[in-house]
Amino acid sequence: MSKGKSVFRCTECGADQPKWGGRCDACGAWNSLVEEALLNRRIGGSADRQVPSDHPPIRLSDISGGQVDRWRTGLAEFDFVLGGGIVPGSVTLVGGEPGIGKSTLLMQCAARLESQGVSTLYVSGEESPDQLRLRADRLEEDAGRIHVLGETRLEAILHHAAQLKSSVVLLDSVQTTYTDELEGAPGNVGQVRECAARLMRFAKESGPAVLLVGHVTKGGGIAGPKTLEHIVDTVLYFEGETTLDHRILRAVKNRFGSVDEIGVFRMTGTGLEPVANPAAAFLAGRTTGASGSAVTALMEGTRPMLVEIQALASKAGFGTPQRVATGLDHRRLALLLAVLERRGGLPFGNLDVFVNVTGGVRLIEPSTDLAILAALVSTVHDRPVPADALFLGEVGLGGEIRPVAGVERRLAEAARQGFRRVYLSARSRGTSDELEVIGLEGIGELTRRLAA
């Protein structure tokens, strides 16, 4: 094939265009077209040529089993997020910012799998085997049995994986891997997509599970075309503040389990450690008895998590008072302040307001409104809310308090963590034997009760 033949491929949707342009015709994204060399081989052929298949169609009822076998790594939070362990023949992409702990996580998984007799091959295009050894030495797990390979060429990687008959292949990272069959540098859209597709085929045909590390872009997505996430079975994001100990592993796609489940880890001197009581992980370090603090329960997948919201209102200097929200949308804060002012009669006009969600958590659910209000009321009056109180409720523009979903589970978790009373919507149907339930119609009632 003649050299230099190329197409322009959209980094957003993966569509091919014969000519460069400022905008992708397929998805409308701007500045997303990059030049890419075409495949050296020809795919397909005449469409109506009949090719016998090794796998003829079978009836679903003739397929045995139902329960998928899984390899449990024993790293409890990792197994939980995957839905019970690694599924043979599956491809899992683990994305995250540099330094968050992706390589550490994969190395620990490999070590734990080896200790159960599951053979692993750890391929790194980012670190040399010597550097891998240094990392392994820090870990609590014994990583000695893992096969390591410093290689970036996909053909060589697949060859070694097949030779070793590895049950689990860990590849760090998909952006450093390239195939001979495409021109173009590792990490470009075509390379990443082709490598992922070939690994997927390898996993489905030969049966090993593949874990891929993927880098994230500044926007927070995994670098490469969005199609990369479509190709693989499972996509996990590893998040957290590198300056804090906590790390959250979040499933955003999972063909073998539920999505939006999270696992919580702590980065220690000997690797990642699953947090034993994830529901209360973000409450650690809470000082009770201070004003401006309130606790709520979020749903993360099927698990409730308790988080603390802190507010501080102080007299503003000259000019427009400041509104600073960390871990929640500043527009949500503005709305809640307006509601408190108009419906609750608390003036914020000359106060600077700071609201902070502890532990680096981001609030997305409106069910956290009531806790934000409680923290604000508490700081204005400089009166702590009861330390054993939980706040659950969405607040409307009329100052009404609305029920939230999944109350039972949130209350059960709060009771387990030692909470004794809960403020929620009077219309909420959740009850609890262990908690005193305080139903509120509107925020007037909240301010009255917190002031009493």
Q: Which spans of this chain sit near Mg ion (rule: CB under 5 A)?
A: 103
Closest residue by beta carbon to Mg ion? 103
Q: Nearest distance from residue 282's CB to ligand TYD, in Å?
A: 20
Based on the shown chain and the rule CB under 6 A, indicate whether residue 138 belongs to the binding site for ligand TYD: yes
Q: Is 224 helix (H, G, I), strand (E, B) or coil?
A: coil
Identify the DSSP state of 251: E
Based on the shown chain and the rule CB under 6 A, indicate whether residue 135 belongs to the binding site for ligand TYD: yes
Residue 322 interacts with, from ligand TYD, Mg ion, none (CB under 5-8 Å by kind):
none
Residue 97: both structure tokens together: 């910012």
Binding mask 81-100 vs ligand TYD (x if CB under 6 A, - otherwise)?
---------------x-xxx
Taking CB under 6 A as the criterion, the residue among 271, 292, 344, 393 binding ligand TYD is 271
Q: Residues near 408 by Cβ (< 8 Å), separated by ≥ 6? A: 430, 432
Taking CB under 6 A as the criterion, the residue among 4, 44, 56, 269 binding ligand TYD is 269
Q: Which residues pair with 235 in a beta bridge?
A: 93, 253
CA distance 266 to 183: 41
Q: DSSP secondary structure string, 144-190? A: TT-EEEE--BHHHHHHHHHHHT-SEEEEE-GGG-B-TTB-S-TTSHH
Based on the shown chain and the rule CB under 6 A, indicate whether residue 270 belongs to the binding site for ligand TYD: yes
Q: Nearest distance from residue 127's CB to ligand TYD, in Å?
A: 8
Q: Nearest distance from residue 272's CB to ligand TYD, in Å?
A: 8
CA distance 72 to 226: 29
Q: Between residues 104 and 296, which has the closer beta carbon with respect to Mg ion? A: 104
Q: Is 209 helix (H, G, I), strand (E, B) or coil?
A: strand
Q: Between residues 100 and 203, which has the closer beta carbon with respect to ligand TYD? A: 100
Q: How many residues bind ligand TYD (CB under 6 A)?
A: 15
Instruction: Convert 300-328 to b/e letters by CB count within 10 Å (16 or more is b).
Output: bbebbbbbbbbbbbeeeeeeebebebebb
Taking CB under 6 A as the criterion, the residue among 267, 298, 371, 375 binding ligand TYD is 267
Residue 67: Cβ-neighbour burial (10 angstroms; 0-12, 13-18, 19+): exposed
Q: Nearest distance from residue 246's CB to ligand TYD, in Å?
A: 12
Residues that bind ligand TYD (CB under 6 A): 96, 98-104, 135, 138-139, 267, 269-271
